Structure 1
Amino acid sequence: MPRQAISAGEKSGQPGESIYDPTCGTGGMLISCLAEAKRRGGDTRTIGLYGQELITITAAIARMNLVIHGVSDFHIASGNTLADLRKVLLCTKRCDPQGSQKVIW
């Protein structure tokens, strides 16, 4: 993912928001966004992290990476984002049925 996109995502991670990476790979952008929120002194417990990755083993590595970094509120789906974006979008609705969280793309 381009560094500019990651940088924009880092600036967006505010408490109460959800961050979604449609091509999350090993979860680096999600972790970077969380680290930036922590650096700014934000309450990272209320930030939801979501991603989708085509390659199943890479999605598993992303999950492991998030756990290693102490993240508990996340969902990484395996699947083709272009063909089935609904997987993660449905998860964000299940996790936040009232729509109270702002989702950052």
Structure 2
Amino acid sequence: MLLFVILFNLVITCINCYLAVKLWQLYGSLKQITYQLTNIEQQMNELFSLAPDLMLKGQQGTVQLRQFYQKFLVQLAIAQRVFETVKLLWKVWYRVSNSRLLSKKI
């Protein structure tokens, strides 16, 4: 009976030692993962610390582009009116000059 108890205790001790080694290995793996995740977090913080400034610049650029586009549309409308006026004047001048030519020929 005493031999059984001693052997049983040795088996339990071996199992506990095995579990302790595995837990120690798991601890080392988790420590490495924690270190790498911390490094990744620091790199992401450095990367995204620039984001608010870049977003602000992008918003300002968008506002400037919209203002430029509005001015461009006004200028385009003016240019279209000028070209339509020139076209109309050209037609009138062409008709007047043709009518003068026709009246001189007759």
TM-score (normalised: structure 2): 0.17
Which one has the largest radius of gyration?
Answer: 2
Structure with more helix by fraction: 2
